[in-house]
Chains A and B, each alone.
Chain A
């Protein structure tokens, strides 16, 4: 879960405005000699502003060429994962005031995926790994006319991993992924977990075989970076451990 706060009296109006400096890693592929560089911008922020608000201020008032993805702006679409002060987070879910804004806030693209421009990375390898784990319900036999039954307890078994928004914060925080781009990465394993532990699903064996690959779950070194990075509070490392255990005890 994210930051909890103190009392309801701390309303937006009472948090003062302040100046904040963003130190942003930039890369323009259209430049004559494209090389990454750092650039600092200072903007005035309000009490409850998020990192995304400050970045929009830069883009809209100072430098329109600053490029990043964003859409929903409240932590559910997964567009704006970036490395903020060395930690993977969603820019729209990170409040400036929680980051010691008297010092420059360092913003870089997430690591391990090719940088396209500024904070935009190529997401295709990430989604390719997702597709490889067969992230869909696999069933056999006739389709029932009503819903398949599932008890609340069975439903709860995989609840945590249904929350994934495919933002890639976990996968691109993983040291194994940084050095080995072939590794499926935590997000793909989370999405495999979501189906392996769904009582309605019959594809666990196939998925476990995929993940038993040399680039599968056994590459995980349990550093917990992924769990710390997940903006949805998914216990990613635990999910990976459960998949490992399933491999040993039932399928392999």
Chain B
């Protein structure tokens, strides 16, 4: 077992992690731990753009962007955080350009901008061109540019290291919690080196979680196989709360049957959704901005068309994304990758034929709760000293109950930067803690248990059951009945997981073992999603309850804070608390587009 000492350890090397690293490594001794190589991170799969009110092509300002973000999130957004994000968006884009990001350009040579769902001029009058982009590869360019800058600045990476525990100086998993205001600090993390199977201890004054999302809770998803919610699950297991986990975004245009993302930029460039009758059905659901309504509304509208028998194809189970009226040269210039996805994976030529699409699990609005300085909260008011989070793993909350398109690439840049600065500042003011007694005991015991289980439960079987259950019962449409079914299944799977086994017993590159660990994360998170969804008896943003189809501000205008607390049977149970929403300028209104 090796021990490493750093001022700052960053967990995850996607956009948020590397943006944090660029700040932190300039100020403090920093290590970045990634379970992949940095350029494999899923930031690279983001396509359409990153919004900022540059006003390069038409009138715009950050206040409109703030309003759109708040309204898009169905008023569950913390408005102070949204304002920070919209204001800092402008510098975030310019920073990336200065780092070398090859944005598309206007004829004058400025950064070009295009329309995106839910982004409007003057509080909803019409769609506005706010998304800065590089074809439909904006995330790829951001990931590459940040990695290039990390190379330039000689950032220290530990590639293919899985972080499997967060070490705190106080036990937050017990029923008895430290008093309000009592100091609780992070001491480091425990990591597993994939290449060797060795355990590494990282002692650090500050730790930044930037591990991304948990889309693999669902079967149909745009997310990578590796998006298993590691940081969220580790926080939950350490006794920290998770905020608003019931809100999961289903992106409207996943390739039918596959879930592969087709950017909203397609509709931004003029593509239209049609049902089996050829009707542009979004005119009925969002008369003003139609196909450019926010994702929750479009996804629900599509699912409703299919449910009412107006789906396409032999099983009438998808709708069509029609680009055929657009100039092929325009499509080729602005949307080269997604048209290639359609050709490669479905054998569809988008110049001449519409593309089969259906909603795909895309983004966790919820996550580890943080302040706008990216400090992780252990309760509604107390932070954990030295622990920070940014990006999809975190919940600031700038996305509320439904994130607007492009705001995730913005989130990782704005709050990644803030997390890096905060982490370095904390490290400059504090001494590192000694690691607790037997820091890796829990991790080693868990890995040994899985590796040595004789002919146990199979990872693939449990994972498939989980994902199919979540797709069937906790997706776009939810009811008390469906969620209860989902919870029963998840509880049963969690019981079966205790005897999980693997075939690969080796120490070198044992991905069989790590897939089992990742399944454990997914199961814990699925439980939080479903418990939160059951308790929220209203419909808001990405969470739609057919038995409670209206938003209920009197009953539910609060953030859900979910904790795993000890249960009588030796397991944990999820307990829910409420956190008030920060409202500054915008009182909740009915959400129409």
B502 CB contacts on chain A under 8 angstroms: 64
Number of interface residues of A (CB under 8 A): 73
From B93-101, B533-541, B582-590, the one touching the partner chain is B93-101
> Which of chain B's residues has its CB closest to A155's CB?
B105
From B35-43, B171-179, B232-240, B400-408, the one touching the partner chain is B35-43
CB distance from B548 to the nearest CB of A (A): 35
> Which of chain A's residues has its CB closest to B509's CB?
A117
The yes or no answer to B341 lying at the interface (CB within 8 A) is: yes
> Which of chain B's residues has its CB closest to A31's CB?
B506
Picked from A1, A6, A60, the residue with its CB within 8 Å of the CB of B459 is A60
CB distance from A233 to the nearest CB of B (A): 8
Picked from A14, A67, A164, the residue with its CB within 8 Å of the CB of B509 is A67
Say whether, besides A8-B353, A60-B460, A137 and B39 are in contact (CB < 8 Å): no
Q: Are A30 and B341 in contact (CB under 8 A)?
A: no
A143 CB contacts on chain B under 8 angstroms: 98
A249 to B257, CA, bound (A): 52
The yes or no answer to A141 lying at the interface (CB within 8 A) is: no
Say whether, besides A93-B344, A136-B148, A162-B141, A200 and B260 are in contact (CB < 8 Å): no
Q: Are B102 and A159 in contact (CB under 8 A)?
A: yes
Q: Are A120 and B36 in contact (CB under 8 A)?
A: no
Picked from A67, A135, A155, the residue with its CB within 8 Å of the CB of B148 is A135
From A76-84, A205-213, A215-223, A237-245, the one touching the partner chain is A76-84
**What are the interface flags for A104-145 relative to B under an 8 Å C-beta threshold, 1 for contact and 0 otherwise?**
000000000000110010010001001100111100000110
Q: Are A8 and B348 in contact (CB under 8 A)?
A: yes
A71 to B225, CA, bound (A): 5
**Which residues of chain A from 1 to 44 have a CB within 8 Å of any chain B CB?**
1-8, 10-14, 28-30
From B74-82, B106-114, B162-170, B469-477, the one touching the partner chain is B106-114
A8 to B458, CA, bound (A): 38
A67 CB contacts on chain B under 8 angstroms: 504, 509-512
B499 CB contacts on chain A under 8 angstroms: none
Q: Are B506 and A4 in contact (CB under 8 A)?
A: no
Q: Are B140 and A151 in contact (CB under 8 A)?
A: no
**Which residues of chain A from 140 to 197 have a CB within 8 Å of any chain B CB?**
143-144, 146-152, 154-155, 158-159, 162-166, 195
Say whether, besides A7-B353, A48-B346, A165-B140, A149 and B148 are in contact (CB < 8 Å): no
Q: Are A120 and B349 in contact (CB under 8 A)?
A: no
A154 to B36, CA, bound (A): 34
Say whether, besides A136-B148, A162-B141, A166-B39, A73 and B225 are in contact (CB < 8 Å): yes
Say whether, besides A1-B343, A11-B314, A136-B152, A116 and B102 are in contact (CB < 8 Å): no
B98 CB contacts on chain A under 8 angstroms: 137, 143-144, 147-148
Q: Are A74 and B148 in contact (CB under 8 A)?
A: no
Q: Are A149 and B108 in contact (CB under 8 A)?
A: yes
Q: Are B512 and A64 in contact (CB under 8 A)?
A: yes
Q: Are A137 and B99 in contact (CB under 8 A)?
A: yes
The yes or no answer to A198 lying at the interface (CB within 8 A) is: yes
CB distance from A45 to the nearest CB of B (A): 14
> Which of chain A's residues has its CB closest to B353's CB?
A8
A5 to B340, CA, bound (A): 11
Q: Are B349 and A4 in contact (CB under 8 A)?
A: yes
Q: Are B94 and A146 in contact (CB under 8 A)?
A: yes
**What are the interface flags for B308-342 relative to A under an 8 Å C-beta threshold, 1 for contact and 0 otherwise?**
00000111000000000000000000000100110
Q: Are B44 and A77 in contact (CB under 8 A)?
A: yes
The yes or no answer to B26 lying at the interface (CB within 8 A) is: no
A136 CB contacts on chain B under 8 angstroms: 99-100, 148-149, 151-152
Q: Are B509 and A74 in contact (CB under 8 A)?
A: no
A198 to B36, CA, bound (A): 29
Say whether, besides A48-B258, A73-B225, A29 and B508 are in contact (CB < 8 Å): yes
Say whether, besides A11-B314, A67-B509, A150-B109, A78 and B39 are in contact (CB < 8 Å): yes
The yes or no answer to A102 lying at the interface (CB within 8 A) is: no
Q: Are A77 and B151 in contact (CB under 8 A)?
A: no
The yes or no answer to B282 lying at the interface (CB within 8 A) is: no
Say whether, besides A64-B503, A74-B260, A143-B98, A12 and B459 are in contact (CB < 8 Å): no
A177 to B49, CA, bound (A): 37
Q: Interface on chain A toward B: helix, strand, loop, or mixed SS?
A: loop
Contact size class for B? 35 or more
> Which of chain B's residues has its CB closest to A134's CB?
B152
CB distance from A162 to the nearest CB of B (A): 5
**What are the interface flags for A61-99 relative to B under an 8 Å C-beta threshold, 1 for contact and 0 otherwise?**
101110111111111111100000000000001010000
Q: Are A127 and B344 in contact (CB under 8 A)?
A: no
Q: Are A195 and B40 in contact (CB under 8 A)?
A: no
Q: Are B347 and A6 in contact (CB under 8 A)?
A: yes
> Which of chain A's residues has its CB closest to B351's CB?
A4
A60 to B510, CA, bound (A): 14
> Which of chain A's residues has its CB closest to B222's CB?
A74
Of the candidates B44, B141, B149, the one having the most CB atoms from chain A within 10 angstroms of its own CB is B44
CB distance from A71 to the nearest CB of B (A): 4
A5 CB contacts on chain B under 8 angstroms: 343, 346-349
CB distance from B190 to the nearest CB of A (A): 23
**Which residues of chain B from 498 to 518 have a CB within 8 Å of any chain A CB?**
502-504, 506-512
Q: Are A74 and B345 in contact (CB under 8 A)?
A: yes
The yes or no answer to B186 lying at the interface (CB within 8 A) is: no
Picked from B100, B109, B511, B512, the residue with its CB within 8 Å of the CB of A137 is B100
CB distance from A115 to the nearest CB of B (A): 11
**Which residues of chain B from 20 to 50 have a CB within 8 Å of any chain A CB?**
36-37, 39-42, 44-45
Picked from A30, A149, A195, the residue with its CB within 8 Å of the CB of B507 is A30
B506 CB contacts on chain A under 8 angstroms: 28-30, 65, 117
CB distance from B478 to the nearest CB of A (A): 27
CB distance from A159 to the nearest CB of B (A): 7
Say whether, besides A74-B260, A131-B151, A147-B110, A4 and B39 are in contact (CB < 8 Å): no
Picked from A1, A12, A137, the residue with its CB within 8 Å of the CB of B346 is A12
B459 CB contacts on chain A under 8 angstroms: 60, 64
> Which of chain B's residues has its CB closest to A93's CB?
B344
Picked from A4, A68, A78, A131, the residue with its CB within 8 Å of the CB of B343 is A4
**Which residues of chain B from 209 to 253 have a CB within 8 Å of any chain A CB?**
224-226
CB distance from A47 to the nearest CB of B (A): 9
A127 to B13, CA, bound (A): 15
The yes or no answer to B195 lying at the interface (CB within 8 A) is: yes
Of the candidates B40, B103, B337, the one having the most CB atoms from chain A within 10 angstroms of its own CB is B40
A127 to B459, CA, bound (A): 33
B40 CB contacts on chain A under 8 angstroms: 69, 71-72, 77-79
A interface residue numbers (CB < 8 A to B): 1-8, 10-14, 28-30, 48, 50, 59-61, 63-65, 67-79, 93, 95, 116-117, 120, 123, 127, 130-131, 134-137, 143-144, 146-152, 154-155, 158-159, 162-166, 195, 198, 200-201, 233
Q: Which 9 A-B pairs have the closest CB atoms?
A: A5-B347, A137-B100, A60-B460, A64-B503, A149-B109, A30-B506, A65-B504, A8-B353, A64-B512
Extra pairs beyond A67-B504, A72-B42, A95-B344 (17, CB < 8 Å): A1-B340, A3-B343, A3-B344, A5-B348, A48-B345, A67-B511, A67-B512, A70-B225, A77-B41, A77-B42, A120-B509, A127-B37, A149-B110, A150-B109, A155-B105, A162-B102, A162-B141
